[in-house]
């Protein structure tokens, strides 16, 4: 009974850490660079010190809870909602692979040594790389033409952000994961003993099934609104976007992209910098209407989101405006009176 209590306590602490960590980093703008990693390291700590059947659900529960706090949609809907399914399935895959990797590195992380540092740094880089490769595939699947050139473009555009993410994975695994796992090994050595490969696979069946289901939903659930393969590949060069409010701004500059509308370019920026965007489709205008950016919703203090291209107020919906090379887009949270002045 005492052991079961420790399992649930550890699960709760790690879910709370991952949930609040992600919420504060994303919503409060505290990230030192995009996609600072807390969920993966919490999942791996759980895999190393808890029963795997409990630990494997840490990233999924933390993602649901933090998305609810942030205000991100968590069900499949339009394109900007559907990427959430790829992030969930990505973390499920990370947890599954983490169980296999964790069994290999357990003998080397019971204390902080040179070898344990290399083991944890490599593990953090591997799991983050796996996650980024899958979610970038999802971004291509949802928002780009289904061609090889478009896929290569998505991965090329994602390289700077994957580097940031790799750095954050290595840093959190070394600064948080290694000390916690090493301390737990000292205090509770029985929880860090090796298990046979057969036992690991058996315990990983539940999350393996969930990961497979999420992968299937991510792909098959998005077919109806994904970009068709026969669309011509378009590209714009050196375009920029800035999102401006009185208290903060987000800049995404000098980008070459195949997301050639203002709406799709906004979604690309949100994906790269990990902030939320919510929008509705207005049938009368045949366009998306942005409701909120980074949890700042229309109607607050009489303001709403409006966009400008090269300093000129746009007269069409954001999903109808096609960008050109060197365009600069500004999203401003302002009132109509401000716009008129």
State whether 209 and 78 are in the same domain: yes
Q: From residue 293, how far is each of 27, 80, 227, 256, 282 by CA, in Å?
A: 11, 12, 24, 22, 18
State whether 140 and 244 are in the same domain: no
Q: Which one of 224, 249, 275 terminates a domain? A: 224
State whether 283 and 335 are in the same domain: yes
Dist CA 129 CA 115 (whole Å): 21
State whether 59 and 198 are in the same domain: yes
State whether 282 and 177 are in the same domain: no
State whether 71 and 192 are in the same domain: yes
Domain for residue 24, yes or no? yes
State whether 287 and 163 are in the same domain: no
Domain ranges, residue 55: 2-224
Number of separate domains in the chain: 2
pLDDT at residue 211 tops 80? no
State whether 72 and 92 are in the same domain: yes
Provide the pLDDT confidence category of residue 193 given band limits of 50, 70 and 90. very low
State whether 295 and 261 are in the same domain: yes
User: Shortest CA distance to 257 belongs to which of 340, 150, 101, 134?
Assistant: 150
Instruction: Tell which wins on pLDDT, 295 or 71.
Output: 295
pLDDT tens digits for range 165-183: 899 899 999 999 999 988 8
pLDDT tens digits for range 52-95: 778 888 888 888 888 788 776 655 444 445 667 788 888 888 88
State the angle between helix axes of 39-49 and 58-70 in degrees (0 to 180), rounded to the nearest 10: 150
Domain for residue 231, yes or no? no
- 3-class DSSP state for residue 307? strand
- Concatenating the DSSP letter of every residue in 43-93 gives HHHHHHHS-HHHHTTHHHHHHHHHHHHHT---S--SHHHHHHHHHHHHHHH
Instruction: Tell which wins on pLDDT, 61 or 214.
Output: 61
Domain for residue 258, yes or no? yes
Domain for residue 230, yes or no? no
State whether 58 and 86 are in the same domain: yes
pLDDT at residue 233 tops 50? no
Give yes or no for a contact between 317 and 287, defined as CB atoms under 8 angstroms apart.
yes
Q: Which one of 169, 201, 224 terminates a domain? A: 224
Q: pLDDT value at position 147? A: 78
Give yes or no for a contact between 289 and 282, defined as CB atoms under 8 angstroms apart.
yes
Provide the pLDDT confidence category of residue 266 given band limits of 50, 70 and 90. very high
Domain for residue 332, yes or no? yes
Lowest pLDDT segment from 46-60, 133-147, 289-303, 320-334: 133-147
Mean pLDDT, residues 118-133: 92
Lowest pLDDT segment from 4-13, 192-201, 228-237, 282-291: 192-201
pLDDT at residue 235 tops 50? yes
Q: For 245, list phi and psi in degrees, rounded to 5.
A: -130, 170
Provide the pLDDT confidence category of residue 327 given band limits of 50, 70 and 90. very high
> What CATH number has the domain bearing residue 246?
2.170.130.30
Q: Which one of 159, 193, 224 terminates a domain? A: 224
pLDDT at residue 110 tops 80? no
Q: For 56, list phi and psi in degrees, rounded to 5.
A: -65, -15
Q: pLDDT value at position 201? A: 55
Domain for residue 334, yes or no? yes
User: Shortest CA distance to 131 belongs to which of 159, 184, 89, 90?
Assistant: 90
What's the pTM value of the predicted model, to 2 decimals? Answer: 0.66
pLDDT at residue 307 tops 90? yes
State whether 213 and 256 are in the same domain: no
pLDDT at residue 224 tops 50? no
Domain for residue 229, yes or no? no
User: Shortest CA distance to 134 belongs to which of 166, 174, 90?
Assistant: 90
Domain for residue 259, yes or no? yes
State whether 134 and 280 are in the same domain: no
Mean of all residue pLDDT scores within the chain: 78
Q: pLDDT value at position 72? A: 64
């Amino acid at each position: 009974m005492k052991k079961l209590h420790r399992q649930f306590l550890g699960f709760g602490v790690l879910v709370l850490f991952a949930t609040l960590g992600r919420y504060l980093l994303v919503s409060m703008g505290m990230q030192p660079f995009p996609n600072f990693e807390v969920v993966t390291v919490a999942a791996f700590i759980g895999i190393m010190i808890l029963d795997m059947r409990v630990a494997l659900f840490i990233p999924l529960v933390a993602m649901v809870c933090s998305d609810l706090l942030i205000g991100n949609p968590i069900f499949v809907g339009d394109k900007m909602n559907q990427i959430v399914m790829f992030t969930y399935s990505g973390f499920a895959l990370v947890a599954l692979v983490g169980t296999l990797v964790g069994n290999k590195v357990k003998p080397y992380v019971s204390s902080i040594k040179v070898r344990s540092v290399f083991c944890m740094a490599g593990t953090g880089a591997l799991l983050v790389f796996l996650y980024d490769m899958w979610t970038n595939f999802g971004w291509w699947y949802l928002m780009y033409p289904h061609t090889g050139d478009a896929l290569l473009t998505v991965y090329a555009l994602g390289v700077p952000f994957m580097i940031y993410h790799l750095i954050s994975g290595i840093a959190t695994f070394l600064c948080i994961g290694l000390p916690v796992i090493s301390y737990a090994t000292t205090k509770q050595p029985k929880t860090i003993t090796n298990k046979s490969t057969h036992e690991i696979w058996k315990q990983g069946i539940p999350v393996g099934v969930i990961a497979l289901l999420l992968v299937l939903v991510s792909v098959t659930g998005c077919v109806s609104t994904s970009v068709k393969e026969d669309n011509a590949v378009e590209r714009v060069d050196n375009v920029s976007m800035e999102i401006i409010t009185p208290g903060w701004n987000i800049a995404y500059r000098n980008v070459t992209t195949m997301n050639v509308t203002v709406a799709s370019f906004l979604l690309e920026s949100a994906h790269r910098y990990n902030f939320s965007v919510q929008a509705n489709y207005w049938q009368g205008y045949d366009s998306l209407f942005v409701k909120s950016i980074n949890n700042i919703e229309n109607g607050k203090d009489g303001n709403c989101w409006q966009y400008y291209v090269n300093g000129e107020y746009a007269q069409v919906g954001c999903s109808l405006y096609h960008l050109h090379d060197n365009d600069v887009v500004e999203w401003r949270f302002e009132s109509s009176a401000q716009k008129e002045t």
